[in-house]
Structure 1
Amino acid sequence: MPALTLSRGVADWPEQGYDGWVLLGMVTLSLLPVIRLFLQTLNAGSIEVAGVSLSFAAASESAAEAVRTATLTENLDTPEDMPLERTSLRSILRALRRAHDSEVTVVDLRQGQTWWETRLFILIAGAARRDRTQAIAFVGERNGTPGTFLGWAPPSRLLAAHLRSDPLLSAAHERARAKTAAWQLGQPLPNPHASVTPSVMLPWGTNQSLPPVENQTPDPAFAFELYLQQNLDRPSPESGRLVTIQRLRELYEVFLVTDSIDAQTPDDAWAEVVLTASPRRFFAVTKAGKFKALIPRDALVAALVTRLVRAEDSPS
């Protein structure tokens, strides 16, 4: 606090509204050596505090619970044998809403017969545009084992790879961006009936409506995805392509992070993963090859410290 007071008196920085963030940063920096020492101690062998054994595996479960994760399984509530090209856009919008509020979205490719490539493209493009979902993980059936971890990557990198893979998708993406920008410039027109498709008056005097959705009023919050879907519904050589594990690799292999750590790995190996300097925020946790969670490194450290504090505060 004296340093903060001196800084404000001399340089008029930081402003009052930023005090909380500055103090949080100062506290975090001051704790880094302590946290690192704690991890190095655990790396040398498991420790006990107040009779409570601390382990990375247990802390990882707490960290996973703190991460908002949307798992898109069961083919978005449609029958298992029905590929997504035969479903309505309502299923995709449900998926987008779930992904919109999550940090991690898990896409289950299953046997490679359920995800249409253009629908996956909509999901990834929407996630990249909104920047709310920080990671997309892929699982699927491999060697008869469902839920096998296939890799993860940030939506922005997946989108860049997908745009480079197909000029038709890239053109559809640009048209959707232009349509959405025009929509956002327009003035809403009166809509006395909830069932009427929302429309706007553009500055140059023409009207523009959102693409229709079967038995549902289009949601303006997903205007970009709706316009992208409208463009992708046009016949193209890629319109019927399903996303298999092989196709996933063709699209994203350069960017997919495929390394993981098994939940039953000894603590010394866990500590090595956390202590290793890496620009990747997340790491995948598996069990016998099956995906369990995508966990931020800082969340795991926080879970370890929380368990340590609780162990010290518990009565002996």
Structure 2
Amino acid sequence: MKTSEHSFWPFTPKVSIITAVIVLLALLLITGLLRTYSGWPADSSGNTVLIGIFIVSLLPIVLAILNVVIERGGTIGYGDLKIDFSKIEQLSNSGFAVPANIGVRGQYVADSGTSNILETLRAATSSGVALIDLEDGHAWWETRLLVLLAGADRLKKPDKIVFTATIEAKQQIYLGWARPGDLLEQLLKEDPRYLKSFYAARAAAAQWALLGPLELIPPYSYYIMPPPPPWMQGALALNHSWMAFSTSTGLPNELLSEQLLQHELGETIENKGEAKHINIVHLDEVFSPVLIKKQIDKNWGNQEQTNALFAAEEPFIAITENAKYSAIVSTQSLYNEVLRGMMDNKK
């Protein structure tokens, strides 16, 4: 029988039996040496230890059997493995739906206009999952996605980006998900101006970060922006000091790097009408190496659902309903619910 690429136990039955025997002999030898030199285990617990050794040694054979059962679409226990979606919904995360183009749809944004996207960025980077709906392919520019990914990668949140689109009049059809850092790496390759603006923004923000919070200077009731220090370099840092701090709190702008990045992209690309839209085809062209498309649909048959679950190698998998995105959930949570259902059936 050909071994599946996603097998629980990728070895033949013969190897499984040999492995079980080797494990049994090795554990017996180790137990004998421990008993000789340390007196453990005691006579009273000897039988329990031997039973435990025997059970552990059978693990390779159990995994091999489980693998065969799953690949053949068989059943385990008293019935098919089942995913209880009513319970899974409590463990899932649908995510924060980021407004198209970070809230400024189809408009060039630079300089003072960058403040308009900050609240959306703050909301997006406070969630564990960001939902990007490409709609009909005209909702998002690459430049705006780059700003979002840059912030998510730097702040490590959200740690999952989910893409959906409108296909044949059906909205929010699931396209795939990926880590922001992986997406950012791919997108920076698309245009040398992306890479230049990205590093220029981070360098400028890093210089302002060295100053720390502002001091309140009486008799003022608000914080006054200091002039750029003499050691500061670069037009991006020198000309946009007003972005660096909040005059109401005196604290640094935690999204300064992304605000400066949006300014640069707005000036060098968006203002020239060169921003590229992201549609389904372009999404796949840019992100196919990192985009995870596996899903479990609520309307699939029981066998197809469980096959998809056990074929998943990633720590998270999308849940859909008639291909429409519903949520994303950890595969471990799904495993736990399946096993809990098996135990309930045995009662």
Unaligned 5+ residue runs, structure 1? Answer: 1-29
Which deviates more, 91-100 or 65-74? 65-74
Q: Residues 184, 69 of structure 1: CA spacing in aligned structure 2 closer, same or farther, 3 A cutoff?
A: farther
1:265 and 2:297 aligned:
no
Compute the displacement of 1:93 (Å).
Answer: 2.3
* One of 173, 179, 197 as aligned partner of 1:172: 197
Q: 2:263: which partner in 1? A: 230
1:148 and 2:173 aligned:
yes
Structure 2 distance, partners of 1:86, 1:201, is: 24
Q: 1:247: which partner in 2? A: 282
Matches within 5 A, 1:1-316: 44-45=74-75, 55-56=82-83, 58-59=84-85, 61-72=86-97, 75=100, 82-83=105-106, 85=108, 88-90=113-115, 92-190=117-215, 202=229, 204=231, 209-211=241-243, 220-236=253-269, 239-276=274-311, 278=313, 280-304=314-338
Deviations 1:132-168 (A, max 9, x none): 2222111111122111112211111110111111100
Structure 2 distance, partners of 1:197, 1:308, is: 64
Alignment-mate amino acid for residue 139 of structure 1: T
Compute the displacement of 1:170 (Å).
Answer: 0.5
Compute the displacement of 1:86 (Å).
Answer: 6.6
Deviations 1:236-280 (A, max 9, x none): 3574332222332232233222232221222322222332362x2
Q: Residues 302, 154 of structure 1: CA spacing in aligned structure 2 closer, same or farther, 3 A cutoff?
A: same
Query: Alignment partner of 2:119: what SS?
Result: helix
Compute the displacement of 1:294 (Å).
Answer: 2.0
Unaligned 5+ residue runs, structure 2? Answer: 1-55
The answer (yes or no) to whether the contact 1:260–1:286 under 8 Å persists in 2 is yes
Structure 1 distance, partners of 2:273, 2:153, is: 21
The answer (yes or no) to whether the contact 1:69–1:102 under 8 Å persists in 2 is no
Query: Alignment partner of 1:295: what SS?
Result: strand
Q: Residues 107, 205 of structure 1: CA spacing in aligned structure 2 closer, same or farther, 3 A cutoff?
A: closer
Compute the displacement of 1:176 (Å).
Answer: 1.1
Compute the displacement of 1:126 (Å).
Answer: 1.0
Q: Residues 200, 136 of structure 1: CA spacing in aligned structure 2 closer, same or farther, 3 A cutoff?
A: farther
Percent same amino acid at aligned positions? 24
Compute the TM-score of the two structures, normalised by the length of structure 1: 0.69
Compute the displacement of 1:73 (Å).
Answer: 5.2
Q: Which has the larger radius of gyration?
A: 2
Q: Residues 194, 264 of structure 1: CA spacing in aligned structure 2 closer, same or farther, 3 A cutoff?
A: farther
Query: Alignment partner of 1:128: what SS?
Result: helix
The answer (yes or no) to whether the contact 1:191–1:198 under 8 Å persists in 2 is no
Structure 2 distance, partners of 1:194, 1:296, is: 49
Alignment-mate amino acid for residue 234 of structure 1: E
Compute the displacement of 1:123 (Å).
Answer: 0.4
Query: Alignment partner of 1:111: what SS?
Result: coil
Q: Residues 300, 78 of structure 1: CA spacing in aligned structure 2 closer, same or farther, 3 A cutoff?
A: same
Compute the TM-score of the two structures, normalised by the length of structure 2: 0.63
Query: Alignment partner of 1:161: what SS?
Result: helix
> Across the two proteins, how many residue pairs are aligned to each other?
274
Deviations 1:167-193 (A, max 9, x none): 001000010111122122224333567
Structure 1 distance, partners of 2:335, 2:167, is: 32
RMSD: 4.2
Q: 2:44: which partner in 1? A: none
Compute the displacement of 1:112 (Å).
Answer: 2.1
Query: Alignment partner of 2:205: what SS?
Result: helix
Which deviates more, 67-76 or 283-292? 67-76
Compute the displacement of 1:69 (Å).
Answer: 4.2
